């Protein structure tokens, strides 16, 4: 005999940052909320673990309180490189934080569970029905909801159930990372703009390890393993380390983030910044927006209005990502990248703008205006210099 379903207002698949933010927001709005993840937490998630000022603002708004310095180590220095040459080091940046996702995601989940979210982590899913919507777990447990939020990452099973595939393989990004032994205390956060095509490399010095990675659009980087090896050699890192890879929805967001009573959030909705590669802040923001849209729709007695409400809430984020996609060739296209690096090395305004973008103090419309204003002069100076 089929089991009777356990009914909730909202079902959320995926307990990463977007799922935890959705769960916290929905629960705080008074909804009965189930959070499902195939992994038991803490669990590994490949990620640089750079938490920006933008992400910190989201964290404060959604979860309340400040970032715990035991989990999020503050840094205020960053160095930018291209072709092995330093383009500049900035001290006293707006604070950046480094974390391990193993710790951060378990922390966010704990906060959501403490709010009364029903815990279905460590439980594998057998079937997702996006029509009803409902979820059958592998042990036969049936969960039903008025609204389903797919927060299940770049390879989202919910997106596949809705649209046939989770992402467009021609437009997806890919990144490789290693966790190397911790380096000297003097190591700064380091970004190398040419470590990958249409992407970059990073070295993030943490308390117990150093995360080193390269990532960018997948198609122009068929040699990404060789890129990582070259980058490690340039950093003087050659010890044996397992190399891990993961897709990154790097500028290919879903214009329609769901269907009917199903919403997609975070990487499942493709919300990674196409220039900085930042995904945590947008995962938190979109997860919270999905939770809030679900709450408002259910309160109005019209759960099917959750998607248009959610889409409206995402408009500024979508507009910024569209602009970032337009701006991206100026930074990453092989012909223009030397011009960008030349300008970046000489301009404290550009470096400041990049950091203010990470801090959430400036958005892409403002950044585009700044770049357009400076472009003619920069191009002239570059041509004279060659």
Ligand X SMILES: Cc1cc2nc3c(=O)[nH]c(=O)nc-3n(C[C@H](O)[C@H](O)[C@H](O)COP(=O)(O)OP(=O)(O)OC[C@H]3O[C@@H](n4cnc5c(N)ncnc54)[C@H](O)[C@@H]3O)c2cc1C
Provide the binding-site residues for ligand X, judged by CB under 6 A: 13-19, 36-39, 45-50, 125, 151-153, 157, 175, 177, 213, 215, 246, 248, 266-268, 272, 277-280, 283
Beta carbon of residue 214, minimum distance to ligand X (angstroms, whole number) = 9
Determine the 3-state secondary structure of 319 from DSSP: helix
279 vs 291, which CB is nearer to ligand X? 279
9 vs 177, which CB is nearer to ligand X? 177
| Measured distance CA(18)–CA(293) in Å, rounded | 14
Beta carbon of residue 106, minimum distance to ligand X (angstroms, whole number) = 10
90 vs 265, which CB is nearer to ligand X? 265
Beta carbon of residue 157, minimum distance to ligand X (angstroms, whole number) = 4
Residue 6 half-sphere exposure toward CB, CA atoms < 13 A: 16
Could you give the C-alpha distances from 190 to 12, 84, 149, 378, in angstroms and in order?
Answer: 35, 11, 35, 24
**What does DSSP say about strands 73-82 and 189-192: parallel, antiparallel, or unpaired?**
parallel
Determine which helix (DSSP H) or strand (DSSP E) holds 322, and give its type and residue range: helix 306-332
45 vs 346, which CB is nearer to ligand X? 45
Beta carbon of residue 233, minimum distance to ligand X (angstroms, whole number) = 19
Beta carbon of residue 351, minimum distance to ligand X (angstroms, whole number) = 19
Which residue's Cβ has the minimum distance to ligand X?
Answer: 279
DSSP string, 336-370: THHHHHHHHHH-HHHHHHHHHHHHTSS-HHHHHHH
DSSP string, 196-227: STTEEEEEEE-SSEEEEEEEEESTT-TTHHHH
Q: Is 313 exposed, middle or buried (0-12, 13-18, 19+ CB in 10 A)?
A: middle
Tokens coding 85: 């040459």
Beta carbon of residue 190, minimum distance to ligand X (angstroms, whole number) = 13
175 vs 343, which CB is nearer to ligand X? 175
217 vs 343, which CB is nearer to ligand X? 217
């Amino acid at each position: 005999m089929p089991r009777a379903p356990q009914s909730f207002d909202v079902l959320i698949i995926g307990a990463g940052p977007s799922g935890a933010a959705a769960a916290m927001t929905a629960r705080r709005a008074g909804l009965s909320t189930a959070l499902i993840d195939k992994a038991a937490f803490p669990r590994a998630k490949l990620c640089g673990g750079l938490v920006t000022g933008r992400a910190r603002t989201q964290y404060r708004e959604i979860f309340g309180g400040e970032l715990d310095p035991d989990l999020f180590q503050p840094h205020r220095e960053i160095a930018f490189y291209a072709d092995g040459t330093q383009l500049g080091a900035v001290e006293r940046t707006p604070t950046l934080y480094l974390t391990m996702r193993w710790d951060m995601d378990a922390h966010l989940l704990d906060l959501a569970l403490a709010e009364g979210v029903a815990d279905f982590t460590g439980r594998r899913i057998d079937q997702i029905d996006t029509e009803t919507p409902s979820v059958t777990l592998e042990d036969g447990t049936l969960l039903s909801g008025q609204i389903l939020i797919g927060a299940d990452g770049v390879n989202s099973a919910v997106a596949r159930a809705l649209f046939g595939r989770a992402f467009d393989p021609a437009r997806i990004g890919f990144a490789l990372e290693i966790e190397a032994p911790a380096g000297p205390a003097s190591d700064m956060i380091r970004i190398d703009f040419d470590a990958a095509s249409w992407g970059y490399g990073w070295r993030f010095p943490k308390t117990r390890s150093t995360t080193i990675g390269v990532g960018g659009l997948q198609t122009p980087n068929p040699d990404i393993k060789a890129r990582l090896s070259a980058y490690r050699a340039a950093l003087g890192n050659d010890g044996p380390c397992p190399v891990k890879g993961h897709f990154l929805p790097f500028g290919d967001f879903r214009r329609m983030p769901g269907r009917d009573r199903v919403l997609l959030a975070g990487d499942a909705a493709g919300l990674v910044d196409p220039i900085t590669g930042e995904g945590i802040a947008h995962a938190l923001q979109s997860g919270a927006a999905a939770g809030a849209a679900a709450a408002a729709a259910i309160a109005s007695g019209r759960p099917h209005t959750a998607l248009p409400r959610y889409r409206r809430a995402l408009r500024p984020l979508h507009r910024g990502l569209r602009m970032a996609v337009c701006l991206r060739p100026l930074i990453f296209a092989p012909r223009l990248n030397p011009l960008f690096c030349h300008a970046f090395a000489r301009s404290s305004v550009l470096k400041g703008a990049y950091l203010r973008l990470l801090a959430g103090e400036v958005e892409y419309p403002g950044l585009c205006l700044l770049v357009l204003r400076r472009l003619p002069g920069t191009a002239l100076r570059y041509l004279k210099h060659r």
